[in-house]
Amino acid sequence: MDHFLYRDGALHAEDVPIAHIAEAVGTPFYIYSTATLLRHYRLFDEALAGTDHLVCYAMKAASNQAILKTLAQAGAGMDVVSGGEYLRAKAAGVPGDKIVFSGVGKTAEEIRTALTGGIRQFNVESEPEMEVINAVALELGVIAPITVRVNPDVDAKTHAKIATGKSENKFGIPIARAPQVYAHAASLPGLKVVGIDVHIGSQLTDLEPFRLAYSKVAELTEQLRAQGHDIRRLDLGGGLGIPYARSNEAPPLPVEYGAMIKETLGHLGCEIEIEPGRLIAGNAGLMVSKVIYVKSGEGRDFLILDGAMNDLIRPAMYDAYHDIVPVIEPAPGVEQRPYDIVGPVCETGDTFAKQRNMPPLRPGDLVAFRSAGAYGAVMASEYNTRPLIPEVLVNGDQFAVIRERPTFDEIINRDTIPEWL
């Protein structure tokens, strides 16, 4: 469910007509619904009711500080994967003891930043990383809390580029080697082992891969405890999918996911951490774009938009599907026709949809890309010297620009020309 609905023939974000925002900020732009962000966070929080738990929003999905602050004020922790994300979370007012640091390539400087500013735990991905965290902790005179990310060799049955739990993926250590790695961690004086971490991929639409992975984690927990390790926290990652194509996708609900966690891991008495990103932010955001031209081609027609692959790269990168709807509701029974929906970037890959049925549209009409709140704005670039597009947050009948569109002068003046030129 989201809070983007037609009212009196016009698409609204909560109580604000989207066309009014377009008039104020120009197109294209991203827009997020506060009510949807909070609803999705609370679904996860309620799904784990009765257990000691923390929902850590995976901020790589959408990392604007206004989004982070909205969720943090509701009680969320944060899952970060870079020093920049760590500092962004801190700037949004998230305390260090509610920030989990994940990622396979943490640098010594990033580790130092987190240990200095406070950290809930590092999710360690390799033994060399473990050695670096230990060395930095000893240098600073502190103890670094860690979990070890284990790779359970479970096929998440998702897109190959977002699967992370198979043996050939770069993430974590093989689960069979976990006892050896935990023994090594226990020998390092700058580390304190607090639990186990696992994450098998993103956009999962079936609970069975989760169940298989979590069952392996339950067995490992008991094995490590028998060997003397104090395993009291289980970080289960994120990955629960959202319905991009509303007609044929029905991912599990957070309440079903929570019940499965309790069934597979509840007997261990561990604190549970989960790191949802896409399900919290995905359907909470739209990208709004304007039709520039309607072009007739050889055997097909094109809708050419002012939004492009640099603004929303998921279709070009993942062949991802997004519902694309007109901002002005078409009349009942209006005849639709197929269009290729494309952007203005000089790449054939700058294609959002092929032969998508749409009602008649004209230059100047607005369209909205649904389920664009996750991995939209954060993956955008300035390719073709196209400015990063604004982000807007709606709260009831109010809206605010939470990231401005830079001017061309601001973009160009970032360059520095050497004196020999």
Catalytic positions are 346
CB-based contact 221:268 (threshold 8 Å): yes
3-state secondary structure 303-348: EEECCCCCCCCHHHHHCCCCCEEECECCCCCCCCEEEEEECCCCCC
- Asked if 116 and 174 count as a contact pair (C-beta separation under 8 A), the reply is no
**Angstrom distance (rounded) from CA 4 to CA 20:** 14
Residues 6+ apart with CB under 8 A from 297: 340
CA neighbor of 165 nearest in space, from 127, 231, 211: 211
Report the phi/psi class of residue 355: left, alpha or beta, with left for phi > 0 and alpha for psi in -120 to 50. Answer: left
Cα 180–chain centre separation? 32
Nearest to 311, CA basis, from 409, 367, 378, 407: 378
- The label of the residue with tokens 């390539």 reads 105
C-beta separation of 349 from 316 below 8 A: yes
Sign of CA pseudo-dihedral 394, 400, 403, 408: positive
- Asked if 288 and 18 touch (Cβ cutoff 8 Å), the reply is yes
Q: How many Å apart are CA 229 and CA 221, to the nearest integer?
A: 9
Phi-psi domain of 319 (left: phi exceeds 0; alpha: psi -120 through 50; beta: other): left
Strand pairing category for 77-80 and 398-403: unpaired
* Cα–Cα distance for residue pair 220/153, rounded to 1 Å: 14
Three-state SS for 179? helix
